[in-house]
Chain A
Amino acid sequence: MNSGERVTFTKSLMLLPMLIILAMFFISVFTLFSSAFVDRGGFSLKYFQQIIDRPDYHVVFYRTVLSSITVAILAVLFSYPIALLLWRANKWRNLLLIVVLVPWLVSLVVRTYGWIVLLGPKGFINAFLGWLGVVDEPVKLMFNDTGIIIGLTHVLVPFAVISILSSLLSIEENLEEASRVLGASGFQTFRNIVLPLSLPGVFTALMVLYLASVGAIVTPLLLGGITEKFVGSQIYQEVMATYNMSKAAAWSICLLSLSFVSLVIIKLIERRALRGQE
């Protein structure tokens, strides 16, 4: 062994921060599992049974999954044209990218309060619709799934823009020109060349957005109200309101499993869609 490869004490010291993080991670997962599966010193599925026995809890799961799918698809649909615009705007790309990312400088809670101002029964949108005479009484845009979906989509669009843009930027230059020279119109070039080659970014976006949405807490809490809960806001409530740590842990494990299963499904769909693409 040459001296360059020798692991010295000082070098191994650099690993320490990582080891501490790893240790924290395993301790917290261990705590999570032990509080979810242990009751009065013995193994128990009691807390999971409590969740399974409540039909209103099932609704929370359905809502979380369906809303998250909607959020992921909506955010990608909004983001694609934005990413396309940024891709085309060679000179202005960085400036425009900053504009897209500026919302990140504002805290999530503040942004969500912004939506309350807009969406509430006496909010800006309802006031405007009432002034136009389009509606007689306020449209319910908040404290329901619509509010959650609007809020989450808004929060997640920048992630999707970045993901799709990076995939567009990795398209080799001249491919569009090559397509044009071979007789394709601008739209045909987009459909046959640009869109298929940007799909990896679209799928990454769908996956990241879905997972972020499934685990969301603040937005469903503020825009969904007491009744329309997400799994995340349910866990928050178990911890902060009812102090039922074991049930919260059981919820968390359900959420973790849900995310994992969803991940596998999205990956399978992606593989099918991108078959033949390296």
Chain B
Amino acid sequence: MTTTLNQSVSDVQNVTGSIDIASVSKSYGDTEVLSNVNLNIPAGNFLTLLGPSGCGKTTLLRLIAGFIEPSKGKIAIDGRDMNGVPTQKRPIGMVFQNLALFPHFSVAENVAYGLKLRKTPAAEMQQRVDRFIDLVGLSGMGDRRIAQLSGGQKQRVALARSLVLEPSILLLDEPLSALDMQLRKQLQIALKDIQQKLKTTFVFVTHDQEEATMISDTVVVMSNGHVQQVGAPQDIYASPETLFVSKFIGELNEIPARVTDTGPHLSIDTAAGQFTLPASAARGFAPRTGDAAVICLRPEQLKVLPTGANVAGQTMLDARVVSRLVIGPLTRVSLRVGETDMIAVMMTDADTAPLPSGSACKVSFNPDHARLFAPLSDDMASAFGEHA
């Protein structure tokens, strides 16, 4: 098993599989589902297209697959322009959301299908089919019919069927969305593992931010047909460039605010009180006096302190404890700050005074951690209807 795996790795250890997407737009009639997308995907990357449903991520995947052609712009694979190249001539594999296994073929016949089309000699075909059935953990199941398989096993067949052709790029369209939590976790790890072994470029579509941050090298956050931000998962979490991205990745506290003065420091007025933030807190817009804005803070950036406390350099706000929830080493405190509900997460053994529910307290944060964004436009806000 190990030797066959090494063989398959050496077969494909090369630098093919880079994708260049240049100014790509896609419209259906008057509706633009993708607008001016620019994206360079390096070979061997595990890249996730993340966004709410309708953000254009599946459309982008289908453009790379060649099922549809861009209205504007150009997609190149390994430097070769793909406009007009039919799907079957592109160096890609694809795993579909509904898996699209051939119900009239056995497991082995499904895996062998692409090899048969390439007129692979029988002996080599048999060997490669066996090797990839082993690779995805289905040894000995080659003769099973598709209807006899469980959901997780079907996933693995779909993966083997694409990977056996050793494509330089594998496209995955929410392949795990139909599975239960535990199986999903298992397959996420299996996918990551296989990707690292084969060094294939994976382009993975999902609307699940946890899944995206867990398995990818690069995350592309999309909304309304636009790329919002591209980066490593931890960078996107730590320094989101828009309010949309902040909301979509990880948990977030938002305080509606108004800018009362600009300069080296921004004076901010909120229902919880007035304070100043460094000018660098503003992201993606230049705040002017009178502008509405949203202050964003991660739950772990908040500290809950007794009412009398005062810490130099920290912004202190009056708050009230709504409830406390101890989850092993972490404590989640629900707070009411001014007119806003907020969540603070801290270590359970922190030496903060035990604050009972309903008691008054102070919430503090480092003003350098706060980020100030322009409020979401209505169409963006609607995207959170199903994911908030």
Contact = CB atoms under 8 A, between A and B. Distances in A.
Given A184-B117, A197-B104, A172 B92 contact: no
A182 B100 contact: no
Contacts, number: 66
Given A182-B117, A183-B114, A278-B145, A196 B96 contact: no
B103 A278 contact: yes
A179 B109 CA distance: 13
A172 to B, nearest CB: 6
Contacts of B118: 183
Contacts of B237: none
Contacts of B67: 177, 180
A89 interface: no
A178 B100 contact: yes
Nearest to B87: A180
Interface residues of A, number: 21
A34 to B, nearest CB: 49
A277 B113 CA distance: 16
Interface in B191-210: none
Interface string A117-150: 0000000000000000000000000000000000
B113 A182 contact: yes
A181 interface: yes
Interface string A158-193: 000000000000001111011111111100100011
A55 interface: no
A178 B96 contact: yes
Interface string B256-276: 000000000000000000000
> Chain B, interface size: which category?
20 to 34
Given A188-B117, A278-B145, A278-B147, A181 B92 contact: yes
Given A177-B96, A182-B162, A192 B103 contact: no
Contact of B100 (A174, A185, A278): A174
A174 to B, nearest CB: 4
A4 interface: no
Interface in B77-122: 86-88, 92-94, 96-98, 100-104, 106, 113-114, 117-118
B161 interface: yes
A276 interface: yes
Contacts of B92: 181
Contacts of A184: 88, 113, 117
For the complex of A and B, the 7 pairs showing the least CB-CB separation, nearest first, are A182-B114, A178-B100, A174-B100, A180-B87, A181-B94, A183-B117, A277-B104
